[in-house]
Amino acid sequence: INAIALRLSDPPELIDPLQGQHDLRLGIVRAAAETTFVHDPVRILRAVRQASELNFAIEPHTEQLLQAAVTELPTVSPERQRDELLKLLNTPQPGAALHRLHRLAVLPQLLPEVAALVGVTQSPPHHLDVFDHTTKALTVWAGWVQAGFPPLPTELRAGLEMYLAERVAGELTIQTLLPLAILLHDTGKALTRQEEQTADGSRIRFLGHEQKSAEIAQAVLHRFRLSGQATSFVKTVVAQHMRPLSLAQAGKVSRRAIYRFYRDCQARGTAAGVAVVLHAWVDHLATYPDNEGEAAGQTLQTVVKTLLTAYFSRPAEMIDPPPLLTGHDLITMLNLTEGPLIGMLLDRLKEAQATGQVNNKAQAVAFIEADPDFSQYRDNNA
């Protein structure tokens, strides 16, 4: 296909030495030469990516050539592997592309941490092993992107589109990086799987898998030489991906819980909280057979909408309220000296504002004066 050119003559003339138009009509990706993948093994990923982008098949002999060159993939620079992987994950069919990488034995060379998830079984409500669950989550996400996020209220979509377009590092946006977090979010399950006997039989658990997955994600992204900012974003989404479900299990979501959730989801200058919320809902839908996830997750869906509404509709009130006092105020008005106590008190004051406990400057001063650490400081320096 890539060998097709246009001669700039009058009239213009197509140059098609390898019958690319024929392959286009048939929906086939075909290698241009026997040495295509040996000369540049990154074309292995590119072939799979193009097939996913175009919804094409890879021609059988091309698959054979690709498989014969798979062991050469590690000779490609990590940056080129990374760039092709990101493009592949942002195609319309990333789940199918991952399955193709697995079938062609590419995955162990590219991402052994993901290949290790194949066959790792899970207890209900999961109906797939960890690898298939991961690929389904990617498929759900891609479907959302193509459909314009239909599960969300219309009033949230405009803000969400702007959020996803935010740049994390260089040209990498939140929307570009979120599929990478989805890909890596359960990698820790291969190392934390435990089977316990219960009165009803056995149950499989993965205690602490989100933190182990975050550690694996950091190692993978370091290997691919992703920037520190982008790595921090992906790692934060992976590490926090169970938080919305925990909030749903706890029942009503308080303003304090909302504030602390978004506070804990800061990633080196990028607010990752919304990405965590989106990931949680995608993760949930991929846990169940098609069309069963929404009915099984009404409480989580309420939490998702509550968290997103707070971020997009009430941010100055509930997430990042403007400061009523500054460090300078604490020094001049309350005779504090510079030190870590000032930052600690301001953090507590900000949370009190976000929860509605403090609403003006006078209340802010009273809040600080009532703080036990401030009282101890004042007593020690009386």
Q: What is the pLDDT of residues 86-108, one digit of tens each?
A: 999 999 999 999 999 999 999 99
Within-domain flag for 11: no
Domain identity same for 149 and 253: yes
Within-domain flag for 155: yes
Within-domain flag for 10: no
Using the 3D structure, point to which of 57, 78, 107 is the last residue of a domain: 107
Q: In the chain, pLDDT over 90 holds for what percent of residues?
A: 81
Burial degree of 185 (CB within 10 A; 0-12, 13-18, 19+): buried
CA 269, 274, 275: angle at the middle one, nearest 5? 85
- pTM above the 0.85 mark? yes
DSSP annotation string for 277-310: HHHHHHHHHHHSSTTTHHHHTHHHHHHHHHHHHH
Domain identity same for 154 and 250: yes
* φ, ψ for residue 253, nearest 5 deg: -95, 115
Query: Span 208-232, mean pLDDT?
Result: 98
Query: Span 268-278, mean pLDDT?
Result: 94
The CATH number linked to 60 is 1.10.110.30
Q: Give pLDDT, residue 99.
A: 98
pLDDT digits (tens, 9 = 90+) for 57-72: 999 999 999 999 999 9
Query: What's the whole-number average pLDDT of the chain?
Result: 93
Query: Span 144-162, mean pLDDT?
Result: 88
Q: Is the pLDDT of residue 3 over 80?
A: no
Per-residue DSSP letter, 207 = T
Q: How many domains are there within the chain? A: 3
Q: Give dist(CA 344, CA 359) in Å, integer.
A: 19
Within-domain flag for 226: no
Burial degree of 55 (CB within 10 A; 0-12, 13-18, 19+): exposed
Residues 6+ apart with CB under 8 A from 199: none
Band of residue 153 on the pLDDT scale cut at 50, 70, 90: confident
Q: Give dist(CA 73, CA 67) in Å, integer.
A: 10
Domain identity same for 356 and 376: yes
Within-domain flag for 259: yes
Domain identity same for 252 and 172: yes
- Higher-pLDDT residue of 291 and 23 is 291
Q: Give pLDDT, residue 17.
A: 64
As a residue count, the chain comes to 382
59 neighbors 28 (Cβ within 8 angstroms) = yes
Least confident of 24-33, 79-88, 104-113, 120-129: 24-33
CA torsion angle for 57, 59, 63, 66 (degrees, to 10)? -100
Helix 209-223 vs helix 174-184: crossing angle, to nearest 10 = 120
Q: Is the pLDDT of residue 18 over 90?
A: no
Where are the extended beta strands (E) located within the chain?
A: 5-7, 13-15, 28-29, 57-58, 167-169, 172-173, 194-198, 201-205, 266-267, 270-271
Within-domain flag for 163: yes
User: Whole domain around residue 358: which residue ranges?
Assistant: 327-380
